[in-house]
Chains A and B, each alone.
Chain A
Amino acid sequence: MILLPIFLPILAAMALTVWGRPLQGAIANAVLSFFVFLLTLAVFTSPGSGLIHADALGLLFGALTGFIALTTALANIFYVRGAEARLAPPLWRLYHALCQVVLGATLLGLYADNIGLLWAAVEGATIAATFAVSLPRSASALEAAWKYFILGGVGIGLALFGTMLVYLAAQPALGPGFAAMSFSALSSHAAWMDGSLLTLAFVFILFGYGTKAALVPLHGWLPDAYAEGPAPLTTSLSGPMLNLALIAILRFRHLLQANQASGGAAMPPGPFLLTLGLASVFLVGFSLSRRRDARRFFGFSSIEHSGIVAFAFGIGGPAAIFGGLLHMVLQTLVKSGLFIALIGAAGLRDSTAPGHYGFSHLRGIVHSNKYAGWVLGGAIFGLVGLPPSGLFASEFIIISQTVQRNPWVSAPLGLGLLLCTVAILRNVGPLIFGSPPPHTRPQKAGAEMHLVALHLALAVGLAFAMPGPILALLSNVAGALQ
């Protein structure tokens, strides 16, 4: 049962590589994603067992991933209709196959209860994503893919080393064999593990998966990859991949914390995470103000949010972890919606080719289509921690926890958030309400804008009127992983 959502897309990918015109591929992709979404919901009933069995965290983010994949695939249909001429049919097939591979690999990583499988999943997702980035075949796209490949490859290598070190550190507790690679076993035996080895392992894990999560200074690949690849796959669908990496970091951090809490020799994980988190927030805060390309711009903001989440994990404690997880969920919803809206907006300016996402080109969307303009504006506003944006709740929790547990780092965090918020909001004016480029005529907005509105509504609802079950689920996870 649990294997279905993982391997259905991966197997279907093979078929998609050889079959179908672009539009058919897109539709098939959407249908598949729909089934996968249903399956991710079904998994709640039978979490499976053994190598692949999903815990609460995996289930939650699995469902989220399924949802994002579905909406992205739906928006992707409009995208393909608009941009069909831009890629050769075989490349389109490859592209849709890659969408499914990324989806399957991400789910595998989320559901796997084995650090080795997790690593393999991340590697697969990375390679697929690299391929996808290189698809447009333009010089800049190839260059972006090359960067992605080199940096991602190094990251994967480091992650593998860390994984092996964790295994090694678990020897005193669990001895050789699969047990020493299973999260559940590890976290229950963390106390008896070799603390110093575990710390060393955590550093490598942090750098390995931190590269996937694009924490500064490991972020080098992300902006270009976002900006150059075929939009839906490399932007909207990559949110779940960031989540996967962050969740991996969270799990390993928990091992370290548990070992240290029970008198082990491990160092506290806080300082490492706080350093990278703050570095991310600050660098983004300064980098955002000079961006002229929308996708690159919001790529940077993804880096910022990874940084915030890492920071929250670094603060530690159930509440902060809760805030971090909530932040991941909300930011994934908003960001994916935002990119869908961005593609739609670029469509309104009748060009969905990469490179046409420059702010100068998208100015004054509201003049092209009022609804689209407001939705896009709402999505951008949703990225900053000002109410009624949902992120206000998570950032409020995180900052309050920071003040209570580690007051001195709250000052730089506040400053960094201030920089990022202002840098994002100062683009809303020109982008949404500004004076449009000449010969801009009002047009009909695609139906994908409704998807974006759905995303935003979900984000706000989850933040300020969280249903009891989800609340219980999240707080249990946070309590277990503190």
Chain B
Amino acid sequence: MVGLPGQGMHLQLDALSLLFLGLLAPQIVASAVAGMRGSVTFWAFVLGMVLALAAADAFTLIFGFELMSAASWLLVLRGDARPATFYVTMAVFSGACLIPAVFLPASSVAFLLILLGAGAKAGLAPLHSWLPKAHPAPPAGVSALMSGGMVKVALYVLIRYAFIILAPAQQPWWGVVLIVAGLGSVLIGALRAMLELELKTVLACSTVEHVGLIAVGLGVALRAKAMGDPILAGLALQAALLCAVAHGLFKPLLFLGAGEVKHAVGTSSLNWLGGLMRGMPRLGGLMLLGAAGMAALPLGPGFAPEFLLLHAVIGAAATGGILARIGFTASLALLGLGAALALGAAVRLIGIGFLGRPRTLQAAAAEDIGRGPLFAMGLLAVLMLPVALLPGLVLQLLTPVVMELAPAAQTPPLAYVPVPLLLLGFLVLAAAGFVLQRWGVRGTRAAPSWNGGFGAPPPWLPFGDPLTQPSATGFAEPVARAIGQGLLTRDMADPAEEWVVAPLLRVHLKGVRLAERIRRATIRERLAFVFVALVLFLLALGLGEGG
């Protein structure tokens, strides 16, 4: 019998796990095609995720979850050893929170433990600072699966426990906690995505942001469910699930693309790229699609979830006490900030990395992607289309899941319908095209760019002087000055580092010093330890029996 001695392991599929498995499948295919086929560790990673999603008992769930953590740790370690320890710390921490939680009776303590455990693995603020370090480390295929899949598995655990298993004990404030954590992630994630230079780090930060969005949706739903508001619960759940689906499609696409960029250029630091759209148009086009999703632009895959989420928050602000309403008003503002920042980040990614002039010769000489990656990214891009253009249909597919999570929920049809918009836009374009063709002069003429009046570059700089074009740093500088200094620490580091990680490290250092002192004890001192302990035990014994 395979599994826990005496109990084995049991699997079972329901709507929720099927949804997440379906979410995982294309990513796995894409990552495998993109070059992870041969790695045993990668398949162990996949196995762990699948087990966690299909688990019917606590052991299988935790086994899969931890296997996923362990395998991804090894992959991170092989990629870049520096963040590995921090990563495994968080991974083990989430395990250490989850194992007790699954055995506690349904209660608020259990929920908080689940939130800590799953949240730490999903990168919810304030336990997110490992994610932008660890996700970029391994090969692109793994990064893609970590951002698109592993994070979702963590959220799956959170959803399953918060909505189904712990439902008997649910409280409205559970949702509030989730919302607050989510808003923090949105803000920090989007801001750092706007400021970071490394392409993969930008994507990882944006993952933090999207996890935050999903968490806000789940929080609103949880609160509404506990307060008995079926419409709002349905709306918020739709938002969260659709956001998970969309993110699970465009984020792996972007990560794979980032990997290809690194492979072609040798670096993926935005300040050393530029003009890639010329050398690698196919990759550029795919990245543009992904970025549109990341920026939640209309007619892109990311807009419908954002739309639903904002409506859910507005709806939440229309109910409850005045403090709650004011809180939701504020969170609406924060979501707005986050959305605009995400737009900035996506625009920066495309505009600095793929448009403009090459900043290095490698960037100028980059060759377009091969068949494998093209297929992988193309698959994801094709799957994005329905989410982008027929979100209503996708939502209907999600309805069983919503019903499973909140049986009383109602799912009104989506108010955002891209197809007519597309039609309208087509008409406008047709008209404009007609005018331009009919009365305008046709054709275009290539000419040296005006380039702000700079003189022609010397011959040994075929693409002009890189220093004369705005860098990624410069592009983000206004935001850094206006917001960064307020939200981040002085050296533009993550506040979680300063307020959460650093104090813990200090405490740990104290413990280590003490342990070293004990280790260096002389024989006599070691005897003294034994003796004192013995006397204390005897004393406890005597007093215990005396009393």
| B48: chain A residues within 8 A (beta carbon) | 387
- Of B5, B93, B515, B541, the residue contacting A463 (CB under 8 A) is B5
Q: Judging by beta carbons under 8 Å apart, are A396 and B59 in contact?
A: yes
- A414–chain B nearest beta-carbon distance, Å: 4
**Stretch of A50-58, A349-357, A427-435 on the interface side:** A427-435
- A323–chain B nearest beta-carbon distance, Å: 9
Q: How many residues of A contact B (CB 8 A)?
A: 70
Chain B, residues 296-340, CB within 8 Å of chain A (1/0): the string is 000000000000000000000000000000000000000000000
| B73: chain A residues within 8 A (beta carbon) | 425
The 10 closest A-B pairs by CB, nearest first: A220-B526, A286-B515, A217-B529, A414-B96, A403-B103, A386-B70, A426-B85, A286-B511, A287-B515, A429-B81
Q: Which of B44, B63, B78, B532 has the most CB of A within 10 A?
A: B63
Chain A, residues 309-333, CB within 8 Å of chain B (1/0): the string is 0000000000000100010000000
Q: Which of A147-201 contact B (CB under 8 A)?
A: 147, 150-151, 154-155, 158, 196, 199-200
- A194–chain B nearest beta-carbon distance, Å: 12
Chain A, residues 376-394, CB within 8 Å of chain B (1/0): the string is 0000010000111100110
| B529: chain A residues within 8 A (beta carbon) | 217-218, 220
B434 at interface by CB-CB < 8 Å: no
Interface residues of A (CB under 8 A from B): 146-147, 150-151, 154-155, 158, 196, 199-200, 203, 206-207, 211, 217-218, 220-221, 223, 265, 267, 272, 282-283, 285-287, 289-290, 322, 326, 381, 386-389, 392-393, 396-397, 399-400, 402-404, 407, 410-411, 414-415, 417-419, 421-422, 425-426, 428-430, 433-434, 463-466, 468, 471, 474-475
Q: How many A-B residue pairs have CB under 8 A?
A: 161
| A289: chain B residues within 8 A (beta carbon) | 508, 512
Q: Which of B89, B96, B97, B544 has the most CB of A within 10 A?
A: B96
| A428: chain B residues within 8 A (beta carbon) | 77
Inter-chain CA distance A422–B94, complex, in Å, is 13
Nearest CB in chain B to that of A472: its residue = B6
Q: Judging by beta carbons under 8 Å apart, are B67 and A388 in contact?
A: yes
| B89: chain A residues within 8 A (beta carbon) | 418, 422
Inter-chain CA distance A256–B167, complex, in Å, is 42
Q: Judging by beta carbons under 8 Å apart, are A203 and B541 in contact?
A: yes
* Extra inter-chain contacts (6) besides given A220-B523, A286-B512, A464-B4, CB under 8 Å: A272-B537, A290-B512, A386-B67, A396-B62, A399-B99, A414-B97
Q: Judging by beta carbons under 8 Å apart, are A387 and B5 in contact?
A: no
26 A–B pairs (Cβ distance < 8 Å), ordered by A: A146-B523, A150-B523, A151-B526, A203-B541, A217-B526, A217-B533, A220-B529, A223-B519, A287-B516, A287-B519, A322-B5, A326-B5, A386-B67, A386-B95, A387-B48, A387-B70, A389-B70, A399-B100, A400-B103, A403-B104, A411-B100, A415-B96, A418-B92, A430-B81, A471-B5, A475-B6
Q: Is the interface of A mostly helix, strand, loop or mixed?
A: helix
B3 at interface by CB-CB < 8 Å: yes
| B96: chain A residues within 8 A (beta carbon) | 414-415, 417-418
Q: Which of B502-547 contact A (CB under 8 A)?
A: 508, 511-512, 514-516, 518-519, 521, 523, 526-527, 529-530, 532-534, 537-538, 541, 544-545
Inter-chain CA distance A400–B518, complex, in Å, is 32
B1 at interface by CB-CB < 8 Å: yes
Q: A217-B533, A386-B70, A396-B62 are in contact. Are A433 and B6 (CB under 8 A)?
A: no
